[in-house]
Amino acid sequence: MVSNDIRTTFLNFFEKRGHAIVPSAPLVPENDPSVLFTTAGMQPLVPYLLGESHPSGTRIANVQKCVRTGDIEEVGDKTHDTFFEMLGNWSLGDYFKEDGITWSYGLLTSKEEGFGLDPKRLYITVFSGNTDAPRDEEAVAVWKKLGVPEHRIYYLEDNWWSPGESGPCGPDSEMFYDITPEGLGDLTHEEFIAADDTQQVVEIWNDVFMEYEKKDGKVIGKLAQKNVDTGAGLERLAMVLQGTDNIFDTDLFAPIMDVIRGKMTKDNKRAMRIVSDHIRTAVFLLADGVRPGNTDQGYILRRLLRRAVRYADMLGMDADGLSAVAEAAAIGYENVYQNVVEQKNMIVEEIRKEEEKFRSTLEQGMKEFEKILARSEKEISGNDAFVLFSTYGFPFDMTSELAEERGFLVDKKEFEKEMDEHRASSRTASEGKFKGGLAGTSEKTMALHTATHLLLAGLRNELGEDVHQAGSNITEERLRFDFTYPEKVERDILDRVESFVNGAITQDATVRMEEMGKGEAKAAGVEGSFWEKYPDTVRVYTIEGKEGAVYSRELCGGPHVEHTGDMGTFRIKKEESSSAGVRRIKAVLG
Residues lying near ligand SER in the complex (CB under 6 A) are found at: 40-42, 88, 161, 206, 208, 229-231
Q: Helix H segments across 59-123?
A: 97-109
- Please name which of 343, 253, 361 lies closest in space to residue 291, comparing C-alpha atoms: 343
Shortest Cβ 391–ligand SER spacing (Å): 39
Of 13 and 485, the one with the shorter C-beta distance to ligand SER is 13
3-state secondary structure of 544: strand
Shortest Cβ 247–ligand SER spacing (Å): 16
Cα atoms found within 13 Å of the Cα of residue 341, Cβ hemisphere only: 8
- Per-position b or e across 174-209, b if 16+ CB within 10 A of its CB: bbbbbbeeeebeebeeeebeebbeeebbbbbbbbbb
Contact 470, 482 (CB under 8 A): yes
Shortest Cβ 175–ligand SER spacing (Å): 11
Shortest Cβ 102–ligand SER spacing (Å): 17
Q: Are strands 83-92 and 59-67 parallel, antiparallel or unpaired?
A: antiparallel
Contact 186, 192 (CB under 8 A): no
- State whether the Cα torsion 489-493-499-503 is positive or negative: negative
Of 229 and 277, the one with the shorter C-beta distance to ligand SER is 229
Indicate the burial class of 430 (C-beta count within 10 angstroms; 0-12, 13-18, 19 or more): exposed
Shortest Cβ 39–ligand SER spacing (Å): 8
Of 156 and 582, the one with the shorter C-beta distance to ligand SER is 156
Of 207 and 384, the one with the shorter C-beta distance to ligand SER is 207
Of 127 and 358, the one with the shorter C-beta distance to ligand SER is 127
Q: C-alpha angle with apex 454: 451 to 458, nearest 5 degrees?
A: 135
- Please name which of 433, 454, 458 lies closest in space to residue 561, comparing C-alpha atoms: 433
d(CA 57, CA 69): 32
d(CA 91, CA 107): 16
Cα atoms found within 13 Å of the Cα of residue 22, Cβ hemisphere only: 23
d(CA 360, CA 301): 18
Instruction: Output the CA torsion 387→390→393→394 (10° steps).
Output: 40
Which residues 6+ apart lie within 8 Å of 348 measured at CB?
323, 326, 327, 330
Shortest Cβ 88–ligand SER spacing (Å): 5
- Please name which of 236, 282, 276, 234 lies closest in space to residue 255, comparing C-alpha atoms: 276
Which letter does DSSP use for residue 54 in this model? Answer: P
Of 132 and 416, the one with the shorter C-beta distance to ligand SER is 132
Shortest Cβ 470–ligand SER spacing (Å): 24
Of 45 and 457, the one with the shorter C-beta distance to ligand SER is 45
90 - beta bridge partners? 60, 229
Shortest Cβ 60–ligand SER spacing (Å): 12
Of 208 and 256, the one with the shorter C-beta distance to ligand SER is 208
Shortest Cβ 203–ligand SER spacing (Å): 9
Shortest Cβ 210–ligand SER spacing (Å): 8
Shortest Cβ 42–ligand SER spacing (Å): 5
Of 38 and 502, the one with the shorter C-beta distance to ligand SER is 38
CB count, 10 Å around CB of 151?
11
Of 231 and 293, the one with the shorter C-beta distance to ligand SER is 231
Report which residue's Cβ sits closest to ligand SER.
231
Of 90 and 551, the one with the shorter C-beta distance to ligand SER is 90
Shortest Cβ 589–ligand SER spacing (Å): 37
Of 62 and 200, the one with the shorter C-beta distance to ligand SER is 62
Contact 81, 69 (CB under 8 A): no
